[in-house]
Amino acid sequence: MKTNFIHTYVSVDCVVFGFDDEQLNILLVQRNNIDENDPKRLKLPGSLIFDNEDVDDAASRVLYELTGIRRMTLKQFRCFAAPDRASNPQDIKWLDQAYKPDIDRLITVAYFSLCKIGRKLNVSNITKYKAVEWCPLSELPDMPFDHNKIVEASLIDIRRWIETDPVIVFDLLPQKFTISQLHRLYESIYNKKIDIRNFHKKVATMTYVLPLAEKQLGVSHRAARYYKFDKKAYNRLKTSI
Amino acid sequence: MKTNFIHTYVSVDCVVFGFDDEQLNILLVQRNNIDENDPKRLKLPGSLIFDNEDVDDAASRVLYELTGIRRMTLKQFRCFAAPDRASNPQDIKWLDQAYKPDIDRLITVAYFSLCKIGRKLNVSNITKYKAVEWCPLSELPDMPFDHNKIVEASLIDIRRWIETDPVIVFDLLPQKFTISQLHRLYESIYNKKIDIRNFHKKVATMTYVLPLAEKQLGVSHRAARYYKFDKKAYNRLKTSI
């Protein structure tokens, strides 16, 4: 009988993106200090999964506990299972206190989710974490485990996803938005400058992005037109392909 | 202290696709009979992962053991973790014998791989399975665990992948191929009829599919021209986007 097969705990971790008109942000939670020497550590929201729970259900549970929102779009994008991903002594100590002792290895299934940042977070259910906050993608701290790596990987997957199914982009925007907002959002996701004239051409091909009669009010520059995402038009297009 | 967190074994399973000019096939292994009443059961190649092994490495190991090929393109596409996925008594019995007793729950990380069916399989390393065979996708048997569901999910992911990165399609074809072969392959992957005239238009936009001087020999119908996939042209195109 071989005895060297992994026998492990499994967790889910969620990368929740929000866009605040200028940049992409990620929802982070503050984990409880392990001891006096432990600095404030921000991490991705996550949880071990229960013994009667599927991973997708665990991810929905974590997001509900965090945000009070039951139906957020969640995409599973990868399992992280490097043998040493939970080998940092501080991380092990935190697992000891937050969950149970002697967790020697931990694999995690990672999800991403996109939401409107204006959405009110209902964090009343949270007992495990001290605080929940939006953190700009460009200012991410050094996080526990391999959470920084998970965020990087999620961005690569989101870009790939958008190429085939751009609908998820509009989950990040308010109901009505300007082309300039959409442009900044694309620049944030791809982390590069995108020529605005080329971008206008691209938007012109998006027959599901419809101009509204309404324009911006009370702005010092020339008021920009608002647009909306027409989900029905988008779905018609998708099914006709 | 909560004690109801999952503590489990983790496996990898691989859906290896091959195309034989007519249809898609999947590489299946025959697992050892559990007892006299147990019918011949075909399943996806897979393995529990070792305690010092990452999931990606485990998937490469499984494919190497099966095919003798070290560097096959493998894409991780999803973790399957339904609590009851290993609850069939025959499956539990097989796990008992093949691995170790008392595996009450098993989650698996699934991969797909595309390879040229002509590639000789070097199965000399196999001790765990009686046989390895290509099985047409349209004739898949009822497989253990949730392996049928894993195959279905892999097809959905392959289609999504192809839309952004069609290069993987050419992993399934011989070095030189006819448009008719490419057409049949697309029909197999999408499991639907694709209008041949529209398909020719699509191919015309694939600037990395180059006609060769050579044509088919010894065919009763009009000899078709051969084409090749130009990887350099493809990479130039990808990086220029």
pTM for this predicted structure: 0.88
Task: Let me know whether A190 and A142 are in one domain.
Answer: no
CB contact under 8 Å between A52 and B83, yes or no, is yes
Chain A positions touching B81 (Cβ under 8 A) are 10, 49, 54-56, 109
* 3-class secondary structure, A230: coil
Inform me whether the pLDDT recorded for A238 exceeds 90. no
CB contact under 8 Å between B48 and A105, yes or no, is no
CB contact under 8 Å between A6 and B5, yes or no, is no
Separation CA A209–CA A227 (nearest Å): 6
Strands B9-19 and B46-48, by their bridges, are antiparallel
Please tell me the predicted confidence (pLDDT) of residue A117. Answer: 75
CA distance B2 to chain A (A): 7
User: Which residue type is seen at A230?
Assistant: D
Inform me whether the pLDDT recorded for B131 exceeds 60. yes
Put simply, whether B205 touches A (Cβ < 8 Å) is: no
CB contact under 8 Å between A99 and B6, yes or no, is no
Interface test with A, best of B48, B54, B74 (most A CBs within 10 A): B54
Task: Let me know whether A31 and A68 are in one domain.
Answer: yes
- Restricting to A residues 57-116, those with a Cβ less than 8 Å away from any Cβ of B are 76, 78-79, 81-83, 99-100, 105, 107, 109
Is B126 or B21 the better-scoring residue by pLDDT? B21
Task: Let me know whether B113 and B223 are in one domain.
Answer: no
- The number of domains in chain A is 2
Please tell me the predicted confidence (pLDDT) of residue A163. Answer: 83
| Beta partners for residue B47, in sequence order | B12
Put simply, whether A168 touches B (Cβ < 8 Å) is: no
Q: Which of A9, A82, A164 minimises the CB distance to B7?
A: A9
Separation CA A199–CA B45 (nearest Å): 45
Q: Can you give the CATH number for the domain in which B76 is found?
A: 3.90.79.10
User: Which residue type is seen at A56?
Assistant: D
> pLDDT, tens digit, for every residue of B210-232?
999 999 888 888 899 999 999 99
> pLDDT, tens digit, for every residue of B175-221?
999 999 999 999 999 999 999 999 999 999 999 999 999 998 888 88
Strands A24-31 and A129-136, by their bridges, are antiparallel
Half-sphere exposure (CA, 13 Å, Cβ side) for B223?
Answer: 10
Contacts of B206 (CB under 8 A, 6+ apart): B166
First to last CA, chain B: 53
Task: Let me know whether B42 and B115 are in one domain.
Answer: yes
CA distances from B68 to A80, B55, B65 (A): 26, 19, 6
Q: Which of B5, B54, B99 minimises the CB distance to A51?
A: B5
Let me know if residue B3 belongs to a domain. no
Furthest-apart CA atoms within chain A: distance in Å: 75
Nearest CA to B177 out of B202, B209, B204, B137 is that of B209
Task: Let me know whether B93 and B191 are in one domain.
Answer: no
Let me know if residue B1 belongs to a domain. no
**Banded pLDDT at B72 (limits 50, 70, 90):** confident
Interface test with A, best of B107, B168, B238 (most A CBs within 10 A): B107
Residue of B nearest to A85 (CA): B54
Boundary of a domain, candidates B164, B192, B224: B164
Task: Let me know whether B138 and B209 are in one domain.
Answer: no
Separation CA A140–CA A26 (nearest Å): 8
| Cβ(A136)–Cβ(A203) below 8 Å | no
Separation CA B53–CA B179 (nearest Å): 42
A176-177: strand order across its sheet: A176-177, A225-229, A209-215
CA distance A86 to chain B (A): 12
Q: Can you give the CATH number for the domain in which B226 is found?
A: 1.10.10.10
Per residue in A138-167, is it b (16+ CB within 10 Å) or e — as a string?
eebeebbbbbeebbebbbebbebbbeeebb
> pLDDT, tens digit, for every residue of A119-144?
555 554 555 666 788 899 999 999 99
Q: Which domain holds residue A228?
A: 175-240
> pLDDT, tens digit, for every residue of A32-62?
777 777 677 899 999 999 989 999 999 999 8
Task: Let me know whether A136 and A184 are in one domain.
Answer: no
Strands A9-19 and A106-116, by their bridges, are parallel
| Cβ(A69)–Cβ(A63) below 8 Å | yes
> pLDDT, tens digit, for every residue of B158-172?
998 888 888 889 989
**Banded pLDDT at A164 (limits 50, 70, 90):** confident
CA distance B175 to chain A (A): 27
Boundary of a domain, candidates B164, B190, B213: B164
CB contact under 8 Å between B48 and A1, yes or no, is no
Residue of B nearest to A6 (CA): B51
Q: Which of A2, A56, A107 minimises the CB distance to B100?
A: A2
Separation CA B62–CA B132 (nearest Å): 13
